Amino acid sequence: MSEDAQARVVLVGNPNTGKSTLFNALTGLRQRVGNYPGVTVARKSGTCELADGQKVELVDLPGLYSLAAVSPDERVVVDALLGRVKNERAPDVVVVVCDATNLLRNLFLAAQIAELGLPMVIAVNQMDAAKARGIEIDGPLLSYRLNGVPVVLLSAWKGEGITEVRRAVANALTRKSFFPAVTWPDAIAKAVATVALAAERDTQQPVPAALAQRLLFDSAPTIAEAIGWTAEAREVPIRQAREQVRSSGLNPPAAEPMVHYARLREILEGVVRGVNRETTTVAVDSILLHRIFGPLCFAVIMLGLFWSVFALAKLPMAWIQNGVDFTKAFAASHLVSTPMLQSLVADGVVGGVGAFLTFLPQILILFLFVGILEDSGYMARAAFIMDRLFSWCGLNGKSFVPLLSGFACAIPGLLSTRTIEDPKARLATAFTVPFMSCSARFPIYALMCAAFIGPRYGAFWESVAMVGMHVVGLVVAVPTAFILTRFILKVRPAPFVLELPRYQMPKPRDVIWRMWQNAYEFVSKAGTLIFAITFVVWALTYFPRDPAVAERVRAESPQMNSEHLEARVQAAYVEQSWMGRFGKSVQPVFDPCGFDWKLTVGVLASFPAREVIVSTLGITYSLGKGADANSEDLRAAMREAKWTEGSRVDTPIFTLPTVLALMIFFALCSQCGSTVATLAQEAGSWGWAAASFFYMTALAWIFATAVYQIGSKLL
């Protein structure tokens, strides 16, 4: 059966209802991840085999509390349910995943979806947690009260009830059952009809009652924009319709939940029994969310996370390093007859990409631990703890999610600022997001820690340095946000509502699968860019290749043994290469930070994308050592690097102050072309993007210089 002919089933539900766990259980690993057209909301779909053997396409929609869509995620859900996503028809069955411990609130979304007239299955998940709290749910009675809509009680995490979901969806596809629609008070029904009529007249298209309800109840213009009803055209009819509702004694924004909840309480009468006992979650939260112990626990968890990353990655990193060395030696020995190609492959491609790949184990372990923290429910607590800090510096409570996303990558962080309604708060958050230490900075931190801090001070101080680099961005972001929000943009504070999920044991298969997806994404995207750039950097570092340079060096040192002489010749070639000349001419700018011309080249090459630094250093240091000296890895080469001129001649380039200065420079500098362009797009002006670029780069230089100069005096 072709994919288009397959039935389409969507999973919808509030956040933290175990929707993704159910999706994984129903689809196994047969999943596809993409984007919805026009937005950056991820589209997760997979093939699910039902109880009758029929295969359907299962789509996991983003979590939401209500159809009153504001954020891009919520808009996608509404569009998907209405069949308004490009090249996608409306779903054949909607599976509403509900949290068994909070069925009333979860069914509110089901009641709203019912207005769209879609066949439905109610999947009451997390029954294990409900039972632990002493809650009992009568599934058959609930199904009876919902006009025969299939109700499945399950625990997706434990794998209980999955077969029943497959059976219920198969039944729903053949015997379409609809959640009973609510009977609206006359005033609302009339107001909805008024809005529908006006919208149809202005847009020249049919506007069903479900859409008209959203136009009447929602303050966000999502649906109006989707149907092309302009602000001028809709202003009067919607205002008049809301007046109609108000004149009947109902408040338009509150009317919808009031009517739905009143009826849902009747439906759930006798369905949900027992007491909702306090559980261990509350006891654990009394410590993890404590005003003093909470931030302390957060710091300890982060420290433990990075310590584990370093400790566990050591062995696989050594294996990869051996593999890279072997490949380099193999390539070098088999390409002796073509010296240019030999250098390109061994020093350029293997040296550059290998330097990046060596840090892959650390990236994988980091993604693994972040996945464990997310699935255990701790990340939401981290959001709560950090919100105190952000609200103090004047940022909107909703700023936390973009800022947290910024730790993975600034781009989704910037895009998720769209969920912030206040434009000034959105701008302040967008300006602050690039300060968060994204994963592209991780390889340079890891290289510096592994090469200089770990060997000298041990794994504990490696972890401290790593946490420090992630904190330094925050430390600078807080006063920046404070000044922006208080004095420049004058943002008004807004409340932040966050649901804290229960703690639960992460499911190994889900965590490992997500780690794999994230790592694949990172390597395939960043890796391909690095691969291509290594060719360019190699060429700029290799050419021009004037034989006179080698002759001059050989003439200057006639007594030197051939191995050392060859290394000196290669170093001379690199120094007079295009990259070398450029690096040397710009180096005086970075001299106060303690950067030599090779580091300067690395810093400059990283402005389009900061992850390029490690591969660039891999090439410049590898080439500088001579084509034969390929057994030395980058870390060893950097440890041996010395100043060749000036007052610091013959002293090591990489001292602790230089290492810290370089890390701080990367922690604060705006080195990502995509981020700058996205900031311009989100802020609606290149001025803000330029301000962010110069502000961050200047701050990075000042901090790096201060660290190097003060550190050099003290150490």
State the residues that interact with another protein by CB under 8 A. Answer: 32-40, 42-43, 86-88, 337-341, 344, 408-412, 415, 438-440, 518, 521-523, 525-526, 528-536, 538-539, 609, 611, 672-675, 677-678, 681
Least separation in angstroms between residue 226's CB and another protein is 16
> Which helix (H) or strand (E) is 60 found in, with range?
strand 55-60
Nearer to another protein, 121 or 530 (CB): 530
Least separation in angstroms between residue 344's CB and another protein is 5
Nearer to another protein, 322 or 524 (CB): 524
Cis peptide, bond prior to residue 544, ω within 30 of zero: yes
Nearer to another protein, 199 or 403 (CB): 403
Q: How many CB atoms lie within 10 A of CB 493?
A: 14
Least separation in angstroms between residue 260's CB and another protein is 33
**DSSP state at residue 14:** -
Nearer to another protein, 34 or 249 (CB): 34
Q: 624: helix, coil or strand? A: helix
Nearer to another protein, 674 or 697 (CB): 674
Least separation in angstroms between residue 524's CB and another protein is 8
Least separation in angstroms between residue 292's CB and another protein is 35
Least separation in angstroms between residue 443's CB and another protein is 11
- Report CA-CA distances (Å) from 99 to 107, 501, 527, 539, 675: 9, 10, 40, 58, 37
CB contact set of 445 (below 8 Å; sequence gap of 6+):
437, 465, 466, 469, 663, 666, 667
Closest among 435, 297, 449, 299 to 362, alpha carbons compared: 449
Q: How many CB atoms lie within 10 A of CB 647?
A: 6
Nearer to another protein, 410 or 659 (CB): 410
CA distance 703 to 715: 17
Nearer to another protein, 141 or 536 (CB): 536
Nearer to another protein, 327 or 534 (CB): 534
Least separation in angstroms between residue 42's CB and another protein is 5
**DSSP state at residue 684:** T
CA distance 413 to 612: 21
CA distance 575 to 541: 8
The tokens 């909805």 sit on which residue?
Answer: 192
Nearer to another protein, 106 or 432 (CB): 432
Nearer to another protein, 276 or 338 (CB): 338
Report the 3 state secondary structure along 539-608: HHHHCCCCHHHHHHHHHHCCCCCHHHHHHHHHHHHHHCCHHHHHHHHHHHHHHHHCCCHHHHHHHHHCCC
Closest among 95, 61, 99 to 78, alpha carbons compared: 61
Nearer to another protein, 36 or 179 (CB): 36
**Cα angle value 137/142/148 (rounded, 5°):** 145
Q: How many CB atoms lie within 10 A of CB 37?
A: 10
Q: How many CB atoms lie within 10 A of CB 398?
A: 25
CB contact set of 318 (below 8 Å; sequence gap of 6+):
none
CA distance 522 to 530: 11
Nearer to another protein, 239 or 334 (CB): 334
Least separation in angstroms between residue 316's CB and another protein is 19
What is the arrangement of strands in the sheet containing 31-35, beginning at the earlier edge strand? 31-35, 42-49, 55-60, 8-13, 93-99, 120-125, 151-153
**DSSP state at residue 505:** P
Nearer to another protein, 64 or 288 (CB): 64
- Could you tell me if 252 and 245 are in contact, meaning their C-beta atoms sit under 8 angstroms apart? yes
The tokens 């919208």 sit on which residue?
Answer: 199
Least separation in angstroms between residue 18's CB and another protein is 21
Least separation in angstroms between residue 672's CB and another protein is 7
Nearer to another protein, 370 or 491 (CB): 370
Closest among 70, 23, 305, 33 to 166, alpha carbons compared: 23
CA quadruple 340, 345, 346, 350: dihedral, nearest 10: 160
Least separation in angstroms between residue 612's CB and another protein is 9
Least separation in angstroms between residue 338's CB and another protein is 4
First to last CA, the chain: 71
Least separation in angstroms between residue 328's CB and another protein is 17
Least separation in angstroms between residue 332's CB and another protein is 14
Nearer to another protein, 217 or 538 (CB): 538
Least separation in angstroms between residue 104's CB and another protein is 33
Least separation in angstroms between residue 250's CB and another protein is 38
CA distance 307 to 366: 10
Nearer to another protein, 373 or 530 (CB): 530
Closest among 578, 596, 577, 576 to 587, alpha carbons compared: 596
> Which helix (H) or strand (E) is 136 found in, with range?
strand 135-137
